[in-house]
Every structure is written in C-alpha cells, then in structure tokens.
Amino acid sequence: MRSGLKWTAALLATLTLSTTALTPVTANASRYHSGMPKKFWGHWRNKSERMRIRKNGYDSALRVATGWVFVYGKPRVKALGHNKYRVRIFTYKANRWTTHSFTYISKNKIKWLGETLKRY
C-alpha cells in the first residue's frame, strides 16, 4: 500500500510541475512604460550640469550654456534592474529619439550618463 501512495504522490507532483511550467507569463517587466518614475522628479545638478525632471520629460543644461536643452514629450521608461532605468525620449533640439540611462542611488543622489547628480 505504501508503494501505491508513493506513485500517487509522484504522479501528482509531476502533473503540478508540468502545468506550472506551461502556464504563460502575462506580466512583462522589461517593456517600456510611459512617464518618469516619481523618485527622479525634481531639480538635480553637479559642477558642470543641471537637470529638471518631471513626469512628462526632463531638461538638461551645461553650466556655461544659456538656456536648457529641451527634452520633452512622452518618455518611455524601462526598468533594467534594482533602481536602474533606461529612458527613451524625443529631443527637439536634435529632432530625434534619444536613450539615456538613470540610476537611483538615494533620495538626494542619482546617476545620469555616468555622472552623479545631487538634488538642489
């Protein structure tokens, strides 16, 4: 009788594992979503650059330049991992789509294109 119970348990385990392996994945976290994540909203700067980030876009400028480089529209954001994001947005100055990477370090510090920016 014990061998019959073992076969039943093995059959049940096989059926359970086979159905979980074949179920389709409906959520895909690697897709682009619209809007900048809220943790990036605000004003950021370092010694050579400054940046304003809002839900619907961001502006960046060099310290010596007059005016802002206008990157505005509907940003498409893809989460790459823990606090890392790739942003695809239309740049009006260059009249083309551009892709930048953002990393959230802390409440007052982010990384953008390899440079650390602090909140001001």
The model's pLDDT over 66-103, given as tens digits with 9 standing for 90+, comes to: 666 666 667 899 999 889 999 998 877 778 888 889 99
How much is the CA Rg of the chain, to the nearest whole Å?
23
Q: Is the pLDDT reported for residue 62 higher than 80? A: no
Least confident of 33-47, 50-64, 92-106: 50-64
pLDDT band at 2, cuts 50/70/90? low
Q: Where are the domains of the chain?
A: 33-119
Fold of 33-119: Lipocalin (2.40.128)
**Ramachandran bin of 33, using left for φ above 0, alpha for ψ from -120 to 50, beta for the remaining angles:** beta
Query: Measured between alpha carbons, how far is 8 from 15 in angstroms, rounded to an integer?
Result: 11
pTM above 0.75, yes or no: no
